[in-house]
Structure 1
């Protein structure tokens, strides 16, 4: 079963059960996941952590580009419209795809680095360029419900 099919099955079977199973889930279940954007500075900081800031990184570990994206995740987030792999795409194209991954999965897609940058706190601060000239901000708490319930296959990096 593909990720999209799994997602649809979970939306139909699991999501309706959340309000009864998890206190406070009713409000979260009906809240739409909006467009989530981070500043260029945030993406650059994440890339420095993930790949030393090398947007063409191909280290042989199975993850590619500045943000170390796993190829199936790249494909699921429509990265193939830019390049076959993240390291073959431009920095801007990688960020565009990463914004889709962020919308789908939240910062947990970049686990360790996101945590070290303070992006995984329960109520993270709005992140923007220091000079206010960024491309947007992170909306605190906006992440795909599937990540919160540890649905397999919903991360840029599998958990170890």
Structure 2
């Protein structure tokens, strides 16, 4: 007998993720919200960490940034955070990446 109608067919398999998978904008927005409250000009209370992703100046310079991260545009901060993540992984943001389930 034919199977009853009603959508009991198996769901199609999801498309494979591109390698390496580029995190969606939503991931970066969530990381920025966790790290800095989404404030691109914020500086940590100890003066060491700047901007959306709380870069140290040394780390910022290591991914090609100039000046202070907290003075760069949000788009540049995100671009350089993506460069850092591609090079060094989510562990660069240990608390927030764990909280967001990224590692």
CA deviation map 1:15-37 (0-9, x unaligned): xxxxxxxxxxxxxxxxxxx7663
Indicate how the Cα distance of structure 1 residues 36 and 99 shifts in structure 2: closer, same or farther if over 3 A, else same.
Answer: farther
Give, in angstroms, the shift of residue 103 of structure 1: 1.1
In terms of Rg, which structure is larger? Answer: 2
Which structure exhibits the higher relative contact order, with contacts defined as CA atoms closer than 8 Å and separated by 6 or more residues? 1
TM-score (norm 1): 0.49
Q: Root-mean-square deviation (CA), in Å?
A: 1.5
TM-score (norm 2): 0.75
Contact kept in structure 2, 1:36 and 1:102, CA below 8 Å: no
Return the structure number with greater helix share.
1
Structure 2 unpaired stretches of 5+: 1-18
Q: Which residue number corresponds to residue 46 of structure 1? A: 31
Structure 1 unpaired stretches of 5+: 1-33, 121-160
